[in-house]
Amino acid sequence: MKFYFIKTPNLIKVIFKNWIWSFSEKEKNIYLTFDDGPTPEVTEWVLNLLSKHNALATFFCIGKNIENHPEVFKKIISKGHTVGNHTHNHLNNWNTNNAEYLNNIQLTNNTLTKYTQQLNKLFRPPYGKLKLSTAKKIRKKGYRIVMWDVLSADFDTSINKEKCLQHVLDNTQKGSIIVFHDSKKAFRNLEYVLPKVLAFFSEKGFKFQKITSIN
């Protein structure tokens, strides 16, 4: 049985206060993030849709996917979006020793810098799983650890697309960081949900912003 929080509890945000969960609630900004790409068919669809709504986003990329699909990665950059590090092989830190995990992050960093000179040192752990000892080392290397306020659960094939949409509409507020996935597994839900999220919040006057090193 899968268990995860759709809305990150405030207690967790307080306990892990050095990690980024959301941004200021003063302005009507939302921060869309996409994990696990680049994936040719899905990522390009996402980019085209974002452009139609003048929306910016942040893509937490897997290093090996960048290497396999460099042209798609270049399109993310050329569209003005931000990219972040999601390890090279989508590693679960709870099952990986610190040295191997940090080397995997560095490998992705090396790949990222091949294609962009303006690298924002943003990191998101796959599965949201990160040891405190690892997190400390990552932050010492200058990374901002970016988590989320709202989990769409688009990756969960056991829920229907309507439920996935409701997750986002019911829990998003000013400053929310929302997680989607530009992966083939998530596309069934993403294809239905993302256009509706963009339309719904655009009509309410929200702007979709990217995350940078200085947010």
| Residues labelled catalytic | 35, 181
Q: Which two tokens stand for residue 165?
A: 């949409």
* DSSP character at residue 68: H
Q: Which two tokens stand for residue 28?
A: 């009507």
Residue 101's φ and ψ, nearest 5 degrees, are -65, -45
Q: How far is CA 200 from CA 26, 166, 186, 208, 210, in A?
A: 19, 12, 21, 12, 18
Q: Which two tokens stand for residue 53?
A: 């709504």
Give all strands (DSSP E) within the chain, no chain letters.
29-35, 58-61, 82-85, 122-123, 144-145, 150-151, 177-181, 207-208
Query: Which position has the token pair 């986003």?
Result: 57
Q: How many helices (H) and strands (E) does the chain have?
A: 8, 8
CA distance linking residue 40 with residue 120, whole number of Å = 23
